[in-house]
Each structure stands twice: as structure tokens, then as C-alpha cells.
Amino acid sequence: MGTERLRTQMSVEASQDSAAAPSSSFGPLRQIDAGLLNVGYVDVGPAEGPVVVLLHGWPYDIHSYVDVCPALAEAGYRVIVPYLRGFGTTRFLSDETFRNGEQAALALDVIRLLDALEIESAILAGFDWGARTADVVAALWPERCRGLVSVSGYLIGSQDAGKLPWPPEAERQWWYQYYFATDRGRAGYGRYRRDFAKLIWRTASPKWRFDDATFDRSAASFENPDHVDIVIHNYRWRLGLAEGEAEYAELENRLAEAPVITVPAITLEGDANGAPHPEPSAYADKFTGRYSHRTIEGGIGHNLPQEAPEAFAQAIIDVDPH
């Protein structure tokens, strides 16, 4: 196990004083039925290359990876980037399906997507919700995960853990989680979701100077008709204020035991992450396979793949060289 500090080409001063222009688009968006969903995703790189699945977080979308994908494709990887349930063009196949945001449901979406695409195993990488989802898949279905890159490390949780109080300063960082627990918060997020997301982007990445075009490109994905339901359920479920579904109970019971992750893994953290996140030392022992941690320097915040795409892509290449 090793720990590294890597400095990106972007200096702190540059991240403070310059605007990041949007990169080119991914190209055509594809759709496929997978489990409960019709999933919108991009598929770039050689069709026969080792597969990488990149998972975004909230309130972000697939464009967090718009600069990661070309580097991986050039290195010979086939890169799949799906919209999570409740984002972009991903839709539920049935109006009757419960809009569930619990961690096991999101992880099973990935397994069903792999099945639909006839992919036996893939490198999984993500941040925020995407990191948690990748962690869950790696822990519960290691045979489907060749390697793992996870921003902020081990994020698997449980409702029991979510009920435990934290010191006041830590609780303050989760203000929106408690806001979402109220009817006022649900209504407020539904009405002001773009303003809300921009506030989170700014506080979670205080040194990232994104421009309006960059934000608007991702914010369009929040107009998904299921977005508010999924976001509110996700945070209420974590606090034990909303029930999950019986079909996921056995998986959630296993996750509540905080299973170790045995696949090769690299965890990443930005040196200016303004979102709540654990210290690397707190989760190092949860990775029992080949493992290392990298702190990415240069004013890098929560949206690490978009703020430091070269470092993120390199971690994927290093975790499972082919």
C-alpha cells in the first residue's frame, strides 16, 4: 500500500483566475434497456478494448468525464459513461416502479447495464454517488470489477450508520441532507435545482472556476422527470427517514457490515475538496487487495475527474494495466 501526492498541471493560481471552457462533446448518445431502466450512455474507444465504466455523482452528470474519455480511448480502453437513474436521458421503463435512490439499487443498475451490454467485467471508477456505487459493486460482485478507482475512498454506508450523530462542524457540512428531509426542502430543490446545484459546485470545489457553459451543459441533466424523486429518496434513505425496497434488503444487510474490497484499487482525493469526505487513513484498511492512495494537488475539489482529468485517467490506466 502506498500514498502519493500528485500535482496537476493546473496551478492553484490558474484555477482561481481562469475559466475552464467546455470541452467537445462525447459524440452520439446511446440508449439501452437494462433492468428497470432505459439507460442513456456514451460508448467511446475501441470496441474490443478493456472496458471502463465511469460513474458520475450528484449534482453532476456524464460531462464530468468529457476530458477523461479521450485519454482512455487513446490508451486502448472502451469507455462506458452512463447517466445514473434520475439524470439525463435515463428513464424508468415503468411508471409504476418506485423511484428508489438507495445505494444497492444504484449498484444493481450497473450490474444490469453490464449484463445488457454483454460485458463480463470492467474497471469501475467514480466520484460522489458514483464512487459509492463503484465501491458497492466491487465489494458485492468482485468478479464483475477488474479494478476500482474511487474518489474519497470507501463510501459504503448503512442506515444505522447514518443515524449516528457527528460533531457540530461535521453536521453543518451536511446542511442540504437535513433540508431534503423536509417538505420545504423537497419543494425548494424541485423549484431551484439549478441554483442549488451551482451552489454545491462552488462550495464543493472552491478553487474551480467553471464557466456558465460548463455548468449549463451538466445542469440540463437535472430536468429528468425522476430527478427530484431520486435525489430526495437517496438522502432521506441514508438518514433512515425513508424506506428502501424489500428486494434490496439482503444486499443492504451485507453492506451494513462494511465489507472489504478485494479488487485492485486506487483511491483519490483533491487537495481542495470542499465537500464532506473521510480522511484516507480512515478507510485504507477496507482495501485488502493491491491498493494505493493519491492526493491530487493544485486546488482540486470534489469533481475531481473534471478538474484533474489527466490524473483521473492515469489512475485508471495504473489500476489495471493491459
pLDDT band at 290 (very low <50, low <70, confident <90, very high): very high
- Could you write out the three-class secondary structure of the chain? CEEEEEECCCCHHHHHHCCECCCCCCCCCEEEEECCEEEEEEEECCCCCCEEEEECCCCCCHHHHCCHHHHHHHCCCEEEEECCCCCCCCEECCCCCCCCCCHHHHHHHHHHHHHHCCCCCEEEEECCHHHHHHHHHHHHCHHHEEEEEEECCCCCCCHHHHCCCCCHHHHHHCHHHHHCCCHHHHHHHHHHHHHHHHHHHHHHCCCCCECHHHHHHHHHHHHCCCHHHHHHHHHHHHCCCCCCCHHHHHHHHHHHCCCCECCCEEEEEECCCCCCCCCHHHHHHHECCCEEEEEEECCCCCCHHHHCHHHHHHHHHHHCCC
pLDDT band at 1 (very low <50, low <70, confident <90, very high): low
State the average pLDDT over residues 139-165.
95
pLDDT digits (tens, 9 = 90+) for 33-90: 999 999 999 999 999 999 999 999 999 999 999 999 999 999 999 999 999 999 999 9
* C-alpha–C-alpha distance, residues 78 and 53, integer Å: 9
- Residue 164's pLDDT is 87
- Residue 7's pLDDT is 66
Report whether pLDDT(179) > 70: yes
pLDDT band at 20 (very low <50, low <70, confident <90, very high): very low
Residue pair 90/83 in contact (Cβ under 8 Å)? The answer is yes
Report whether pLDDT(29) > 50: yes
pLDDT digits (tens, 9 = 90+) for 222-275: 999 999 999 999 999 999 999 999 999 999 999 999 999 999 999 999 999 999
pLDDT band at 14 (very low <50, low <70, confident <90, very high): very low
- The percentage of residues in the chain with a pLDDT greater than 70, rounded to a whole number, is 93
Look at 8 and 158; give whichever has higher pLDDT. Answer: 158
State the average pLDDT over residues 137-146.
98
Report whether pLDDT(155) > 70: yes
Q: Which residues pair with 87 in a beta bridge?
A: none
Task: Tell me the pLDDT of the chain averaged across its residues.
Answer: 93
pLDDT digits (tens, 9 = 90+) for 85-123: 999 999 999 999 999 999 999 999 999 999 999 999 999
Report whether pLDDT(15) > 80: no
Question: What angle (nearest 5°) sits at the alpha carbon of residue 109, between those of residues 103 and 111?
Answer: 110
- Residue 19's pLDDT is 36
